[in-house]
Structure 1
Amino acid sequence: MINLQPYADPAYFILLLGTLLPAMIGLYFGKRLRTYEALWTVAFLVLTFGGVKWHQGVALLGYVIFQLLLIMGYQRYRRKGNRTGVFVVVVVLSILPLVAVKVAPVLASHRLSLLGFLGISYLTFKTVQVLMELRDGTLTEVGIVAFLRFLLFFPTVSSGPIDRFRRFQADEQRVLDRATYLSLVDHGIQLLFKGLVYKFILGYLFGTLWLPRIAHAALVSRHAFYGTGLSWHLIAYMYVYSMYLFFDFAGYSAIAIGVSYLLGIKTPDNFRAPFAAHNIKEFWNRWHMSLSFWFRDFIFMRLTFFLMKKRLIKNRIRVSQVAYLANFLIMGFWHGVTWYYIVYGLFHATAIILNDYWLRYKKAHPQLITHSAVTEGVGIFITFNTVCFSFLIFSGFLNTLWFH
Structure 2
Amino acid sequence: MATETLLALGLYLLLGRWLVGLTSSLRDPAFAALNIGAVYYFFYWNNEQRFPVKFQLVLNLIFVAYLFALYVQYLAMRRWSDQPGWQPWIAFFIPILFLIVIRYAPVKELAALVSPSLGRLIERRPDFTLNAVMVGFSYIAFRSSYLVLEVRNGVVPKPGLWQYFGFAIFLPTLSVGPISPYRMHHQGFVPSNKPEIPVGRAALRVLVGAVKNRFFGPLLNQLTYTGLLLDEHPHHLIDLPIAAVAYYLYLYCNFSGFCDIAIGSAGLMGIPVAENFANPLVARNLGDYWNRWHITLSHYMRDVVFSPLSKFLVRTFGPKNANHAIALTILVVFLLVGIWHGVGWNYAAFGVAHAAGLIAHHYYTIYLKKWLGRERFAAYNRNRAIHAVSVALTFSYVSACLFLFANDGESMARIFSMLRL
Do both share a fold (TM > 0.5)?
yes
Task: Name which of 97, 107, 119 aligns with 2:136.
Answer: 119
Say if 2:234 is the partner of 1:221.
yes
Structure 1 pair 383–11 and aligned structure 2 pair: CA distance change class (3 A): farther
Paired with 1:319 and 1:34, the residues of 2 have a C-alpha distance of: 45
For residues 238-277 of structure 1, the C-alpha deviation after alignment (integer angstroms, 9 at most, x for no partner) is 1111111111111111000000001111101111111111
Q: Is the 8 A contact 2:31 2:166 kept in 1?
A: no
- The Cα of 1:216 is off from its aligned counterpart by 2.8
- The Cα of 1:174 is off from its aligned counterpart by 2.5
Structure 2 partner of 1:328:
334
Say if 2:10 is the partner of 1:17.
yes
For residues 338-365 of structure 1, the C-alpha deviation after alignment (integer angstroms, 9 at most, x for no partner) is 1211111011111111112222233231
Structure 1 pair 108–307 and aligned structure 2 pair: CA distance change class (3 A): farther
Q: Is the 8 A contact 1:59 1:117 kept in 2?
A: no
For residues 260-310 of structure 1, the C-alpha deviation after alignment (integer angstroms, 9 at most, x for no partner) is 001111101111111111111000011011111111111111211222344
Structure 2 partner of 1:396:
407
- The Cα of 1:118 is off from its aligned counterpart by 0.6
Code of the aligned partner of 2:210: L
Paired with 2:365 and 2:10, the residues of 1 have a C-alpha distance of: 47
Say if 2:164 is the partner of 1:147.
yes
Structure 2 partner of 1:45:
39
Structure 1 partner of 2:294:
288
Say if 2:381 is the partner of 1:386.
no
Code of the aligned partner of 1:143: G
Q: Is the 8 A contact 1:102 1:334 kept in 2?
A: no
Structure 1 pair 175–11 and aligned structure 2 pair: CA distance change class (3 A): farther
* TM-score calculated relative to the size of structure 1: 0.84
Task: Name which of 264, 272, 291 aligns with 2:270.
Answer: 264
Structure 1 pair 96–286 and aligned structure 2 pair: CA distance change class (3 A): same
Structure 1 partner of 2:53:
none
Deviates more, 1:314-323 or 1:129-138: 129-138
Say if 2:94 is the partner of 1:97.
no
Paired with 1:117 and 1:299, the residues of 2 have a C-alpha distance of: 25
Paired with 2:21 and 2:143, the residues of 1 have a C-alpha distance of: 29
For residues 15-56 of structure 1, the C-alpha deviation after alignment (integer angstroms, 9 at most, x for no partner) is 212342244467789999556533421320220233433244
Structure 1 pair 271–93 and aligned structure 2 pair: CA distance change class (3 A): same
Deviates more, 1:109-118 or 1:10-19: 109-118
Task: Name which of 70, 73, 78 aligns with 2:79.
Answer: 73
Structure 1 partner of 2:365:
359
Structure 1 partner of 2:117:
none
Task: Name which of 153, 157, 179 aligns with 1:162.
Answer: 179
- The Cα of 1:11 is off from its aligned counterpart by 4.1
Structure 1 pair 94–212 and aligned structure 2 pair: CA distance change class (3 A): closer
- The Cα of 1:199 is off from its aligned counterpart by 0.6
- The Cα of 1:312 is off from its aligned counterpart by 7.0
Paired with 1:120 and 1:348, the residues of 2 have a C-alpha distance of: 24
Which structure 1 segments of 5+ residues have no match? 3-8, 225-230
For residues 74-107 of structure 1, the C-alpha deviation after alignment (integer angstroms, 9 at most, x for no partner) is 14xx44xx242x44444333311111122236x9
Structure 1 pair 170–401 and aligned structure 2 pair: CA distance change class (3 A): closer
* TM-score calculated relative to the size of structure 2: 0.80
Code of the aligned partner of 1:388: S
Question: Percent identical across equivalent pairs?
Answer: 24
Paired with 2:45 and 2:272, the residues of 1 have a C-alpha distance of: 29
Structure 1 pair 167–141 and aligned structure 2 pair: CA distance change class (3 A): same
- The Cα of 1:207 is off from its aligned counterpart by 1.9
